[in-house]
Amino acid sequence: MKALITGGSGFVGSWLVRDLCRRGLDVRILCRRPEAVQEFKGFPVELALGDLSSRDSLVKACQGMDWVFHLGGLVAYSKEKRAAMEEVNVKGTMNMLMAAHQNRVKRFLHMSSVTAIGASFDGEALNEQSDYNLTHLDLGYFETKRRAEGQVMEACREGMVDVVVVNPSTIYGAGDALKGSRSTQIKVAKGKFPFYTGGGVNVIAIEDVIGAIWEAMNRGKTGERYILGGENLLIKDLFRIIAEEAGVSPPSIYLPNFVVHGIGRMGDLLEKWG
């Protein structure tokens, strides 16, 4: 079985590359620069130079592939980076779909996010059928992930490619500090982030995500999406656990939602502090 991975140099992607190699698959990694995947030197992987903005390079990268694991994307929160997220997350995903279709790839796994599903404001758990309810936040990352997932589902309905989607929550594990979007948690661990907000977050271990991706690709139903979640934690408790493990004082200043919105756009605040 031959598999192409986009986003192979990222946190989840680097774990997936190793997992697929261990399972005996022929792995090809899409990368813009060979030096970005030097960590796989010695692994039986093939590099395909390309970019999600270049459909021609994606068509070439998909040649001879049975599966595509589309993990590539841009995570950002400031409005200045919204255009870049449109190019990578939305247009890049469509380019990837077209390339997979042209090469008659057998199955296409798209890694979306729980942010493309929404959030619970009343404590009731969401599921795969929940309607998106975060438009009012006007966060570019949320919106582009939602639209990208919509494109993938539409391509599946039109018979372009056999698709399955996974929607992981907040992923943690070895390597997340270097490769993941975890700068807020790093600041908490260093005792340099004094604030916490209300609400909560679902967290899942990277090992569980990789196992679920494999199961979804092999056993997932065509056109379905699957939430990959673990434990629900209050933000206050999450930060406390991080601080305790790091041996520092936990954040102690509570910021109500109206204060967060009063400071400025939520996305810009996240970009500044996270």
CA atoms of 206 and 150, how far apart (whole Å): 25
Lowest mean per-residue pLDDT among 84-93, 131-140, 258-267: 258-267
Burial 135-170 (b: 16+ CB within 10 A, else e): eeeebbbbbbbbbbbebbbebbeeebbbbbbbbbbb
Per-residue pLDDT tens digits for 9-25: 999 999 999 999 999 99
Lowest mean per-residue pLDDT among 89-98, 170-179, 190-199: 170-179
Please give the mean pLDDT across all residues of the chain.
91
Q: Looking at the predicted structure, is the pLDDT value of residue 273 above 50?
A: no
Categorize the per-residue pLDDT at 264 as very low, low, confident or very high, splitting at 50, 70 and 90. Answer: very low
Q: Given this model, what pLDDT does residue 175 score? A: 84
Domain ranges of the chain: 2-172+202-231
Per-residue pLDDT tens digits for 116-148: 999 888 878 889 999 899 988 888 999 999 999
- Please, are residues 141 and 269 in contact by the beta-carbon 8 Å criterion? no
Q: Does domain 2-172+202-231 have CATH number 3.40.1390.30?
A: no
Q: In terms of pTM, does the model score above 0.75?
A: yes
Q: Which residues contact 70 (CB under 8 A, 6 or more apart)?
A: 6, 7, 93, 96, 108, 109, 110, 111
